[in-house]
Amino acid sequence: MHPFDSAIALEQVADGLARGRTQPEWANMVGPFGGVTAATLLRAAEQHPERQGAPLSLTINYLAPLVDGEFDITARPVRTNRTNQHWTLELAQDGEAKTTATAVFGVHRDTWTDTEATPPTAASPEDIPATGFGEFVVWVRNYEMRFVEGAIPGPDDGPSPTSTTTLWVRDGRGRALDHAALAAVSDIFYPRTFLRRGQFVPSGTISMTTYFHASVDELATVGDDYVLGTARANRFSAGYFDQSGQLWSRAGQLLASTHQLVYFKG
Amino acid sequence: MHPFDSAIALEQVADGLARGRTQPEWANMVGPFGGVTAATLLRAAEQHPERQGAPLSLTINYLAPLVDGEFDITARPVRTNRTNQHWTLELAQDGEAKTTATAVFGVHRDTWTDTEATPPTAASPEDIPATGFGEFVVWVRNYEMRFVEGAIPGPDDGPSPTSTTTLWVRDGRGRALDHAALAAVSDIFYPRTFLRRGQFVPSGTISMTTYFHASVDELATVGDDYVLGTARANRFSAGYFDQSGQLWSRAGQLLASTHQLVYFKG
């Protein structure tokens, strides 16, 4: 099984209760990569027998780091409307809540369409070396990353005047993109504090919200191709900053908008 | 009592259970203005005896419209860490869930600070007429609104090529800004579909997330002065669009970043 599919695999143990297990391939500095936890919570709703429609939004709150081992996810479809469905989710270990989430699923309808945002200018991924983040966390080895702008700073880089990072990213083993994978990629950006300060700064995501624009068919068209991700911070103060990002297909479709609030020290 | 304070007033009826009542002054097309519901949920956490710190983030999901009358809010502090606290909230009427939310509160610490986003260019509010939205919904009468760009389209305006609205907004009766009021102002922007289509389009917020940068002291400095709000959509398709906005003080402080996913027809 692909390591991403192992990481988000859930066994249904009771009505609305699913059990999974952390995987060493997804280790972050403390606990697993937050993106894979987001993907796992989304998957819990996706595979629930009452699920209707495709993911429209996901908000995940990181209460405490997961420890290695099993976790339980409760997924509750709080309300099902004609065209959308609202979920609350909670991930716990040994009865202790580690992550909470809400999600909205919905039906895609044929309407007026326009993309007002514009993708960042970027050379082709084939013309940019695959550098990743270096070796400081394990989970990055699952992705192929080619930085257009704002790669993780090296010891001689110093502070950057802007917090923008733009990169091409795809699964390192050619797994095709789906909504769970897109939820994970939403959290692909290393902390903006590293870039602005030109050094490692203790930082961690507190809450992340992703709006999924792409339908199942649109993601199938992307397949295993690169996604162009871009993110920047708005304000850093009092130990927190917020980040806004976008995930684009190579063909110029805005697949998702993603936002997060991050804690930092120093 | 000020109408905003009446609207968000909650009576503690049991441990973690508070009761409020919709107010006719805040009526929207169907149910109350979503911003005042967001403010009421935030207030339920704020006035909970176990609350620690100030609001950092709020995500609210609109499951179904409220009907006129009483509502119950359950507020649960799921986890309290050293510097932050995670909440789940649910608003129900007659036992039926109408709104769910998660919130994070936290301690503000003395850290490196920088605002990377820039406020929109705008004339002084004193130099712009107060126009509001016209008379089509009741709640707008509670605010004084002066549009810098992207006022609600009139019958002869036609479609706009961009979805950006920028406006000065303040409470119409001089109530000072606090986090609850800031949560309400996060939802001040009429649907971006109206502007892009140049006409009324059935639209409704599904989920809204606000990141609060401003501390209690910063909001006290703003007092009853105008806030400069700006918002635009990223992508409209398949019956949904996402909007990203910012709320600035006149002094150029980014008070909050706010994002939402909106349903539309046609």
Q: How many residue contacts between A and B have a Cβ separation below 8 Å?
A: 210
- A163 in contact with chain B, both atoms CB, cutoff 8 A: yes
**Helix H or strand E segment including A204:** strand A203-212
A90, A101, A234 member nearest B257 (Cβ): A234
Question: What long-range pairs does B76-81 form, CB within 8 A, spacing at least 24?
Answer: B76/B16, B77/B45, B77/B48, B77/B50, B77/B51, B78/A63, B78/A90, B78/A97, B78/A100, B79/A63, B79/A64, B79/A97, B80/B50, B80/B52, B81/A63, B81/A64
pLDDT bin (cut points 50, 70, 90) of residue A51 is: very high
Mean pLDDT over the full length of chain A: 97
Q: What is the structure's pLDDT at B36?
A: 98
* Overall average pLDDT of the A47-61 stretch: 98
Residues of A in contact with B88 (CB under 8 A): 88, 90, 100
Q: Give the domain CATH number at B37.
A: 2.40.160.210
CB B181 within 8 A of CB B173: no
Provide block-wise average pLDDT over 10 residues at a time, chain B (266 residues): 97 96 96 98 98 98 98 98 97 98 97 98 97 84 96 94 98 98 98 96 98 97 98 98 98 98 95
Tally of residues, chain B: 266
pLDDT per residue as tens digits for the range A198-214: 999 999 999 999 999 99
ipTM over 0.90: yes
Q: What is the structure's pLDDT at A221?
A: 98
* Overall average pLDDT of the A19-30 stretch: 96
Query: Is residue A183 situated within a structural domain?
Result: yes
HSE value, Cβ hemisphere, 13 Å, CA-based, for A114: 16
Query: Is residue A188 situated within a structural domain?
Result: yes
Q: CA-CA distance, B208 to B36, in Å (whole number)?
A: 12
Q: What is the structure's pLDDT at A53?
A: 98
Q: CA-CA distance, A6 to B169, in Å (whole number)?
A: 50
* Overall average pLDDT of the A73-79 stretch: 98
CA distances to A79, A265, B162 from B66, rounded to whole Å, are 14, 41, 32
pLDDT bin (cut points 50, 70, 90) of residue A136 is: confident
CB B139 within 8 A of CB B25: yes
pLDDT bin (cut points 50, 70, 90) of residue A56 is: very high
Domain limits for position B172: 3-108+116-264
Query: Is residue A40 situated within a structural domain?
Result: yes
Query: Is residue A113 situated within a structural domain?
Result: no
Residues of A in contact with B117 (CB under 8 A): 234-235
Residues of A in contact with B86 (CB under 8 A): 61, 63, 97, 100
Query: Is residue A93 situated within a structural domain?
Result: yes
Q: List the single range of A51-65, A128-142, A226-240 with lowest mean pLDDT.
A: A128-142
Q: CA-CA distance, B264 to B266, in Å (whole number)?
A: 7
- B86 in contact with chain A, both atoms CB, cutoff 8 A: yes
Smallest CA–CA separation between A163 and chain B, in Å? 8
Query: Is residue A112 situated within a structural domain?
Result: no
- B147 in contact with chain A, both atoms CB, cutoff 8 A: no
- A114 in contact with chain B, both atoms CB, cutoff 8 A: yes
State the total domains in chain A. Answer: 1
CB B264 within 8 A of CB B236: yes
| Residue for token pair 């850093």 | A236
Pure H helices in A47-98:
none
Most A CBs within 10 Å, among B62, B113, B201, B237, to test the A interface: B237
Residues of B in contact with A242 (CB under 8 A): 211, 213, 257
